[in-house]
């Protein structure tokens, strides 16, 4: 059986969006994915903190990929709802987002994520609902 970390990492590396954003897969197993992002100047807001959209994006990506890693072959997912709670500012270093698929059903999935800074401090928590569909023909 293929290694889900390598397969998911290869998909992420092959995506122009993930390359552009700088996100990368650190760990992956069915239903759980951790991403990392080295904060650069392009990721910060006017105050020098990681932009809230960056935190939301890495959280959504980790949750979505955790859902994807638990889906059967050929099934698809798309975010239908995203909630993010910003806890502390992140200013530099590496962000990690640990996404966990809490439930993957036939049509709906629910996932949660914790975004931490390089000291392991929680900077954001998120939850998301995902539509799960059969492959397009």
The Cβ-side half-sphere exposure at 44, using a 13 Å CA radius, reads 14
The whole domain housing 19 covers: 4-133
pTM for this entry: 0.92
pLDDT digits (tens, 9 = 90+) for 72-107: 778 889 999 999 999 999 988 999 999 999 999 999
Number of domains the chain is built from: 1
CATH number for 55: 3.10.129.10
pLDDT digits (tens, 9 = 90+) for 19-69: 999 999 999 999 999 999 999 999 999 999 999 999 999 999 999 999 999
């Amino acid at each position: 059986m293929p290694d889900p970390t390598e397969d998911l990492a290869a998909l992420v590396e092959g995506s122009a969006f993930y390359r552009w954003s700088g996100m990368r897969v650190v760990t992956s197993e069915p239903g759980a994915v951790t991403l990392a992002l080295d904060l650069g100047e392009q990721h910060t807001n006017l105050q020098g903190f990681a932009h809230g959209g960056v935190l939301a994006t890495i959280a959504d990506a980790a949750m979505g990929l955790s859902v994807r890693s638990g889906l059967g072959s050929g099934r698809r997912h798309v975010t239908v709802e995203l909630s993010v709670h910003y806890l502390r500012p992140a200013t530099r270093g590496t962000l990690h987002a640990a996404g966990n698929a809490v439930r993957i059903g036939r049509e709906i999935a629910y996932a949660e994520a914790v975004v931490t800074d390089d000291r392991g401090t929680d900077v954001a928590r998120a939850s998301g609902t995902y539509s799960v569909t059969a492959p397009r023909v």
